[in-house]
Amino acid sequence: MKILVTGGAGFIASHVADAYINLGHEVSILDDLSRGSRRNLNPRARFFEGDIQDRAFVDHVFDAVQPEVVNHHAAQMDVRRGVREPLFDARVNILGSLNLLEAAVAHKTRRIIYVSTAGAAYGEPKSLPVTEECPINPITPYGISKHTVEHYLFTFSFLYGINYVVLRYGNVYGPRQSSQGEAGVFAIFSEQILAGIQPVIYGDGSKIRDYVYIDDVAQANVCALERGAGEIFNIADGVPTTDQQVFSATSSLLGHPELKARYVPKRPGEIDAICLDISKAARILGWKPRVNLEEGARKTVAFFQQTVQQPQTV
């Protein structure tokens, strides 16, 4: 199968591309390398460097690849930048995605797998765990832009017959994660501790997130190749985890269980708690997470121990 993976030089999509290639698919990657890295590119993938906001470039890629499936991860994914620059956020995430959708229709692409967001889209939920049917109340431009494309997918399916699957991710973590990315607390804590910097926690450490290991996310994207047309799925672990728990696990694995974090006020746009109901993905996609937080944390911290990077502040 010919698959185009947008954002395929980034943390999550590079693992997805690897999973597709390992199954024998013909994979091409589109990425502008603004946040991704060449070192994440699978050498067996065909690479196109450019921006999804450039319609001529997008058409060139589709002409060259003729993709049967588009796996769309490319995005402006910095929540804080979206708050500061909502027009930029909308241009990349909405208008860039429309370039891809129109090209997919023109080239008779069979399916689009679109990566959306759970926490940023649902906003502050009234009850947990959150199902796919819960109200969408984004409190940041990023959440708005990512959710808007879900509506365009439904409309393009109705108008042109193209099918799609939406995956709403929880907090993805694992090897290759960047401390500059959203939800990258494992990366941030690991790099800070390894560099001898006191880690920073925004809030009092009680914020709840739903973490999911990268290998499980890649497998969800494999399942979405053939199942779940026209559906939206939460992809997470279904287990509530606090910032303090992540910090304690990371510091202990790095041999500093006594380490104390520095607590500062939480940032605008951050929700207090999110945990997802993943039963729909199990029922329709046939997908369930296999790596628990203890195992995933161990693998992630080991990666950073082997590849110490320049520390970044949160």
Over the stretch 104-152, which tens digit does the pLDDT of each residue have? 999 999 999 999 999 888 988 989 999 999 999 998 999 999 999 999 9
pLDDT digits (tens, 9 = 90+) for 186-235: 999 999 999 999 999 999 999 999 999 999 999 999 999 999 999 999 99
Phi and psi, residue 296, nearest 5°: -65, -40
**Contacts (Cβ under 8 Å, ≥6 apart) of 313:** 200
Lateral strand order in the sheet of 240-242? 171-173, 208-213, 240-242
Residue 161 CB-density burial (10 A; 0-12 exposed, 13-18 middle, 19+ buried): exposed
Helix (H, G, I), strand (E, B) or coil at 144: helix
Residue 135 CB-density burial (10 A; 0-12 exposed, 13-18 middle, 19+ buried): exposed
Mean per-residue pLDDT over the chain, rounded: 94
Which amino acid is present at 101? L
Q: Residue 312: what pLDDT?
A: 44
Helix (H, G, I), strand (E, B) or coil at 290: coil
pLDDT over 50 at 313, yes or no: no
Lateral strand order in the sheet of 26-31? 46-49, 26-31, 2-6, 69-72, 111-117, 163-169, 231-235
Taken in order of first residue, the domains within the chain and their CATH numbers are 2-171+213-235 (3.40.50.720), 174-210+238-275+291-306 (3.90.25.10)
Pseudo-torsion of CA 24, 35, 217, 289, nearest 10°? Answer: 140
Overall residue count recorded for the chain in this entry:
314
Which tokens go with 111?
Answer: 């399916």
**Contacts (Cβ under 8 Å, ≥6 apart) of 14:** 8, 36, 40, 41, 42, 176
Q: How far apart are CA 273 and CA 125, in angstroms?
A: 8
Among this protein's residues, is 142 annotated catalytic?
yes
pLDDT digits (tens, 9 = 90+) for 11-36: 999 999 999 999 999 999 999 999 99
**Contacts (Cβ under 8 Å, ≥6 apart) of 215:** 15, 174, 290, 291
Banded pLDDT at 311 (limits 50, 70, 90): very low
Continuous H helices in the chain: 11-22, 55-65, 79-84, 86-90, 96-106, 119-122, 141-160, 185-194, 214-223, 243-253, 279-280, 293-306
Task: Kindly report the pTM of this predicted structure.
Answer: 0.94
Q: Which of 20, 114, 122, 142 is catalytic?
A: 142
